[in-house]
């Protein structure tokens, strides 16, 4: 399975880096391909290192602006002209999308893929790894949207939340 992952470009403490590394090892040892932003920065670089060490394949989707941060050792690197084209490529290449802890870049990416799913423009599963309750606030906001009529479809049809890296793969298996 090609799994597109969105996550922080910053180095984070063990609360986030340990589950991210565990997730990466499960991805690699499961014979999956990591599709990601192609960077060696922060959690993105850690993820790629661990997937590679576990025997997984790496497909990086870079944008020209950040090409100097490109990960050395990816099996495939795709260069896109701008951030919008990169987001489209990251989704096009995905069988599923997994979101680890991240900042505004990650939030932008997850919002877009959920919005596209809301409109029926793709049906790829989207799973957020809710490490340390990092996405509790986002989940509360989405549940309020659902409860108060802001969503045309049940929230459960748009996105799932996993508590552990292993649960991410259970949810992906159940969705396929
Ligand atoms: C932080 C630094 C460089 C950032 N380089 C990036 N290279 C590739 N992809 C990136 C980069 N920064 C953001 N992204 C994308 O957004 C997500 C991470 O953003 P966040 O704000 O940290 O959550 C990630 O999924 C990427 O696709 C200098 O060291």
Ligand 1 centre and the CA of 39: distance in Å?
Answer: 7
Residue nearest to atom 16 of ligand 1 (CA): 105
From the CB of 9, is ligand 1 less than 6 Å away? yes
Note whether residue 42 is domain-resident.
yes
Residue nearest to atom 11 of ligand 1 (CA): 9
Note whether residue 140 is domain-resident.
yes
Locate tokens 């192609």: which residue? 38
pLDDT at 113 over 80: yes
What is the per-residue DSSP string for 92-114? Answer: HT-SEEEE-S--HHHHHHHHHHH
For ligand 1, pick from 10, 12, 23, 37 the residue to mutate: most ligand atoms within 8 Å of CB.
Answer: 37
pLDDT at 35 over 80: yes
ipTM score of the complex? 0.90
Q: What is the pLDDT of residue 67?
A: 74
Ligand 1 centre and the CA of 132: distance in Å?
Answer: 21
Note whether residue 7 is domain-resident.
yes
pLDDT at 53 over 80: yes
Ligand 1 centre and the CA of 9: distance in Å?
Answer: 4
- Number of domains, the chain: 1
Note whether residue 150 is domain-resident.
yes
Q: How confident is the model at residue 70 (pLDDT cuts 50, 70, 90)?
A: confident
Whole-structure pTM over 0.90, yes or no?
A: yes
Q: Which domain holds residue 57?
A: 2-171
b/e string for 47-86 if b means 16 or more Cβ within 10 A? bbbbbbebebbbbbbbbeeeeebebeebeebbebeeeeeb
Tell me the C-alpha distance between 4 and 96, whole Å.
6
Note whether residue 176 is domain-resident.
no
The per-residue pLDDT for range 145-176, each reduced to its tens digit, is: 999 999 999 999 999 999 999 999 999 999 98
Note whether residue 11 is domain-resident.
yes
Ligand 1 centre and the CA of 73: distance in Å?
Answer: 18
The per-residue pLDDT for range 1-14, each reduced to its tens digit, is: 999 999 999 999 99
Note whether residue 167 is domain-resident.
yes
Q: Residue 108 is part of a domain; what is its CATH number?
A: 3.40.50.450
Residue nearest to atom 25 of ligand 1 (CA): 6
């Amino acid at each position: 399975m090609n799994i597109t992952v969105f996550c922080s470009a910053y180095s984070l403490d063990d609360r986030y880096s340990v589950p991210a590394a565990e997730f990466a090892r499960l991805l690699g040892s499961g014979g999956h391909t990591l599709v990601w932003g192609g960077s060696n920065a922060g959690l993105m670089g850690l993820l790629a290192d661990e997937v590679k060490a576990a025997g997984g394949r790496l497909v990086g989707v870079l944008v020209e602006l950040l090409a100097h941060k490109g990960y050395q050792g990816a099996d495939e690197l795709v260069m896109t002209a701008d951030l919008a084209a990169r987001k489209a490529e990251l989704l096009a290449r995905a069988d599923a999308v997994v979101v680890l802890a991240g900042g505004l870049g990650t939030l932008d990416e997850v919002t877009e893929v959920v919005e596209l799913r809301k409109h029926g423009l793709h049906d790829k599963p989207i799973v957020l790894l809710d490490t340390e309750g990092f996405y509790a606030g986002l989940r509360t906001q989405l549940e309020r949207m659902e409860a108060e009529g802001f969503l045309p479809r049940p929230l459960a049809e748009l996105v799932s939340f996993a508590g552990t890296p292993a649960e991410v793969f259970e949810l992906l298996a159940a969705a396929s």
